[in-house]
Chain A
């Protein structure tokens, strides 16, 4: 495959390992970073990427994962501040072209929009899905009546 990407995923929990397994299966070169070695147990047998054990707030660890060469970085640990720091370092110091951070606290996501950091907030995403269900239901009710 000629268009496979170099992707670094920080955090090997449920989301991180799922992303890593799928992207690796699709043929991308994936590196997963986690400070807890046992988290790598979440990776499937098919995962053919690399594992880096360490604290991603340390430059030394990010260097080991060769962030400079990466096309994409996903910061998906369970800690908002960790994700926000890793995303900024990847974006502004390693000049990674595309960086995305998971941030649970919606107020923090707003603040970081100003700094040019792209975030995904699971709370907001879930809330929107629920509200959409309400809207759809309302629409269908109206449709039935008319």
Chain B
């Protein structure tokens, strides 16, 4: 896969390292000459020095053949225009923009550009993670639209000892797996949830809090 990334800083550096490990071909566009030199020295990537919202620079970076473009500069206006130009002028099939201002994630989507906000993602993660000590793991998937959460069932939870079919979960939530004594079980209605079980939950950010409340009896 050929990935074009416009931006800089630590995020870009580590994203590149991650993608290289996955075997992607990466080209970075960066405005700062010194940073370009550093990136080219430290990573096995192509680096183009220039303004990513200039057609000439996008062309030089091979936007024509890119599968994905990621615009993660600190300026929302640049990220938006870079993604739009890449799609309009070079037909890049997938473009994703970073929305530094979380409000702009919604704005970009309305303007036809996929967007994500790290502030939102990190904020949600911290809120959810800090809310319960029994949560041992929480992974957002699908661009943060779905959560996978692992919790350890404690004996003071209202669901302890109940059959799965007795537990009234909100819509769009699922007890996907129960791990009991290192054995994973895909639970059915007739399975009981026992203290000490590790439960893997699928939830949406909207109903995450409600689901946890049903299971643990605790408020967020």
Chain A contacts to B: CB under 8 angstroms:
57-60, 79-82, 84-86, 88-89, 92-93, 105, 107-108, 111-112, 114-115
* Measured CA separation A124–B101 after assembly (Å): 33
Q: Please state if B77 and A60 are interface contacts (CB–CB under 8 Å).
A: no
Q: How large is the interface on B (under 10, 10 to 19, 20 to 34, 35 or more residues)?
A: 10 to 19
Q: Which 8 A-B pairs have the closest CB atoms?
A: A85-B77, A81-B77, A81-B81, A59-B103, A82-B77, A107-B55, A111-B88, A57-B76
Contacting pair B110 A92 (CB below 8 A)? yes
Contact partner of A84 (CB less than 8 A), chosen from B55, B75, B81, is: B81
Q: Which of A57, A89, A108, A111 has the most CB of B within 10 A?
A: A57
In the complex the two chains form, what is the Cα distance from A51 to B182 in whole Å? 65
Which chain B residues have a beta carbon within 8 Å of chain A's beta carbons? 53-55, 75-78, 80-81, 84-85, 88-89, 101, 103-104, 107, 110-111
CB contacts (< 8 Å) of A105 on chain B: these are 54
Whether the Cβ atoms of B77 and A108 lie closer than 8 Å is no
In whole Å, how far is A138's beta carbon from the nearest beta carbon of chain B?
Answer: 33
Query: Do A81 and B80 have beta carbons less than 8 Å apart?
Result: yes
A111 with B77, Cβ < 8 A, contacts A81-B53, A92-B110, A93-B110 known? no
**In the assembled complex, which residues on chain B have CB atoms less than 8 Å from the CB atom of A60?**
103
Task: For the complex, give the distance between the alpha carbons of A82 and B53 in Å.
Answer: 11
In the complex, which of the residues A59, A79, A92, A112 contacts B77, with contact meaning CB atoms closer than 8 Å?
A79
Nearest chain A CB to B109's CB is how many angstroms away? 11
Cβ-defined contact, B77 with A84, below 8 A = yes
**Quick check: B101 and A58 within 8 Å, CB to CB?**
yes
For residue B92, give the distance in angstroms from its CB to the closest CB of chain A.
Answer: 13
Q: A57: which of B54, B77, B88, B110 is its contact (CB, 8 Å)?
A: B77
